[in-house]
Chains A and B, each alone.
Chain A
C-alpha cells in the first residue's frame, strides 16, 4: 500500500482534504453532464467553484439509472436527448481545465464505461484532466479491471459504503478506495429528502464508518438539501455531497434569464448558510 501511495502523484482530490480548514467541511457537488444544455456544463462547473464547491462529481448519463430517484433520472434523460456522449464529457472537462484545478470525478453506471472500453476510458479521462471515478454499480468484487486501469492512469477510484454495510465490508471498501470513501447516508435511491429522515439514522452509521474507514477521508451524501442538513450530517466526517437538490434548483430556475445566477446563489447558501450569504 505504501509503495503505491509513494508512486502516485499528489492528487488534486487529496490536496482538497489536506488544505481544508479545520472547521470547514469540503463541499462536493454532483452535476449531470449535458444538463440542462450541452454548452452549459463547463460554465456551470466554473461558477459552482466560485460559489464554494471544492469538488465536482460530473454525472455520466445512463438510460437506466436504477440507483437514482426521479430528479437525476430526469436530468439524465434530458442530457441524453441533448446528445451527450462520453467524448463530449471529456471535452467538457478539458474546457474546465483551461482555467480551473477543481477536482473532477466522473460518476456513473458501468455500462457506458464498458462500452467505451475500460482502458481507453481511463486513459482518455486522465488525459482530459479527470481526477477520479465513482461507479456505484461496480462494487469491489466486480471492478478488478477498472481498478487496475484507474491505478495505471492515476485516477482515484472511490467506492461507497451504505448503512447496511457490515464492519468488515467497510474495512475492505476503505482498503480498495482511494481519494475518499463515499458514505451513503440512507438506504434508497438518490434524491433530496426531509432533513429529519436523514438525520435520524445517520449518527450510528457515521459512528461505524469512523471506526472502520481509517485510510481515506469520508464524504457523506444522499438526501442533503440545504445548509442545515449538510452541517448536521457532515459533523463527524470530512465533507458532504449534494446532487439532486442542485439539479432541482437548476430545474426550477432554467431557462429564465438569470437562471445561472440563481443557481449560484443556491450553492452559496448551501455552503455558508442563508444568513451569511452577503458576507463575501
Chain B
C-alpha cells in the first residue's frame, strides 16, 4: 500500500494534530489553505525551485566517501552534501519555502525559533533576501554555545531575542515564538524550523525538504544505477531526516535509520533520545513521543549538539517508529565527537555535531553490511559553527 500521510486532520497514524489555543486555529486554517494552493501552483513551485538552484546552490552533491569506505572495508558510503547549501545546512530549503508562502499570504513580519542557530541563520538570510522584518527566539544557553550564529543573524539584520525561561534551549525558544505568534497573529508568519508543531507544519516542512531525498534518488540512479540499501540521518525534531527518507518510503528494500542524540546515554537522565525512552505526549501543538515525567511535565533534554537538544520529535517520526518503517537508535556525545574527528581526517569535511551523530552510527552499521551494498548518509550541515564546542571538548579531555 502506498504511503500517504498525514490525514486531513493532520495525523500521521495516531500522532500529530492541532493542539493549540483557539487564537491560533484561524491562523492554521488560513495557512493550510494557502499552502495547499501553493503546493499545486506551478508558478509558486517554479519560484521555489529557481531560488533553490540560483540562491541555495541546489542540487547539492552526492559525494562518494572513498577513504571512509576503505576505512570500514564494507559497503560503499555516499554523503548527501546538505552542508554545501547556502548558510551551511539543509534548513534553508524550508526557510525559503515558508518565506515565499508568507509573502504570498501578505504577512509582513517573520518570527522563528532556533536551537543550533542554523534555522535562525537560514530564516534571517531569507528575510534579508526578501526584505522582511525578522525576529529570532533563541535560548540563552544556545546563544552562548552558538555565538558565531548569533553574530551572523545580527549581521543579516535579524533581531535575536534571548530566552531565559526554562532550560534556555530550543524548547523554551519555541514556547516564546508561539507566545509571540499568539500575540501578533494578524501580521506575523511563524517559520517553524523542524517537522514539529501543529498541522500543517510537519507536513509542510517535510515537503519543503523532500528535495533532499528526491535528488539523492536521482543522483544514485546515475552513479550506481540503483536505490541505496541504507539511509542514515540524525534526528532532533527530524526535518533533515524526513526530507531525506520521505521519497524512499515506498521503496521497501531501502532500510532507513534515524539517529537520536543520547547525550550521556539513553539510560541516564542527560539525554535527548525521545523515541528510545519517551512516551506519547503533547508539546508545541502536536501529539508525538516526548520526554516527560509521570506528571506530564516535560523533562529537560541533554545533548552536546544544540540542534538535537529537544525533548520532542516530529509526529511523522513517531509514526514511522511505531510502524517500524524507520529504525531509530541513540548515539552519545562521546561517540558523536569521535565521528567529528574521524570524518574530518578521512574526508576533509568538518561535520556539524548534529550530522556527526548520524556518522557515528557507521561504527555499528558498517560491520553488518556487505561490499556490494550502498549506504547514504545525509550530511545535514557543516561544523564551522561548532568549532568552539569541538576544541573545548578535545582540549578538556586532553587535560582531564
Our verdict on whether A and B bind, yes or no, reads yes
Number of A-B contacts (CB under 8 A): 111
With CB as the reference atom, state the residue of chain A lying closest to B282.
A111
Q: Which residues on B sit within 8 Å (CB–CB) of A142? A: 17-19
Contact (Cβ within 8 A) A114 B296? yes
Once A110-B19, A139-B20, A164-B23 are accepted as A-B contacts, the answer to whether A64 and B298 lie under 8 Å apart by CB is: yes
A83 to chain B, nearest CB (A): 10
Q: Which 7 A-B pairs have the closest CB atoms?
A: A115-B296, A112-B296, A188-B183, A63-B297, A162-B23, A67-B21, A111-B296
Q: Which residues on B sit within 8 Å (CB–CB) of A137? A: 19-21, 282, 285
Tell yes or no: A209 within 8 A of B by CB. Answer: no
B291 to chain A, nearest CB (A): 11
Q: Report the contact-size class of chain A (Cβ under 8 Å from the partner).
A: 35 or more
User: 10 A-B Cβ contacts within 8 A?
Assistant: A64-B175, A66-B174, A111-B296, A138-B19, A139-B20, A139-B22, A142-B17, A187-B183, A187-B185, A189-B182
With CB as the reference atom, state the residue of chain A lying closest to B279.
A115
Q: Mark A149-184, 1 if CB is under 8 A from B, else 0.
A: 000000000011111111001000100000000001
With CB as the reference atom, state the residue of chain B lying closest to A116.
B296
Q: Which residues on A sit within 8 Å (CB–CB) of B186? A: 164, 187
Which of B22, B172, B292 has a CB less than 8 Å from the CB of A111?
B292
Tell yes or no: B25 within 8 A of A by CB. Answer: yes
Contact (Cβ within 8 A) A113 B22? no
C-alpha gap A63/B171 in the complex (Å): 11
Tell yes or no: A86 within 8 A of B by CB. Answer: yes
C-alpha gap A62/B284 in the complex (Å): 13
Q: Which residues on B sit within 8 Å (CB–CB) of A164? A: 23, 26-27, 185-186
Q: Which residues on A sit within 8 Å (CB–CB) of B399? A: none
In this complex, how many residues of chain B approach chain A with their Cβ under 8 Å: the count is 38
Tell yes or no: A80 within 8 A of B by CB. Answer: yes
Once A73-B165, A141-B9, A166-B26 are accepted as A-B contacts, the answer to whether A110 and B21 lie under 8 Å apart by CB is: no
With CB as the reference atom, state the residue of chain B lying closest to A188.
B183
Q: Which residues on A sit within 8 Å (CB–CB) of B171? A: 64
Tell yes or no: A47 within 8 A of B by CB. Answer: no
Q: Scan residues 270-300 of chain B and give those whose CB is less than 8 A from a CB of chain A.
A: 280-285, 287, 290, 292, 294-298
Q: Of residues B19, B22, B298, which shows the largest number of chain A Cβ atoms within 10 Å of its Cβ? A: B22
Which of A80, A86, A115 has a CB less than 8 Å from the CB of B281?
A115
Tell yes or no: B166 within 8 A of A by CB. Answer: yes
Tell yes or no: A85 within 8 A of B by CB. Answer: yes
Q: Mark A185-224, 1 if CB is under 8 A from B, else 0.
A: 0011100000000000000000000000000000000000
Tell yes or no: A136 within 8 A of B by CB. Answer: yes
Q: Which residues on B sit within 8 Å (CB–CB) of A73? A: 165
Q: Which residues on B sit within 8 Å (CB–CB) of A166? A: 26
Q: Scan residues 235-271 of chain A and give those whose CB is less than 8 A from a CB of chain B.
A: none
Tell yes or no: B95 within 8 A of A by CB. Answer: no
Contact (Cβ within 8 A) B19 A169? no
C-alpha gap A115/B298 in the complex (Å): 11
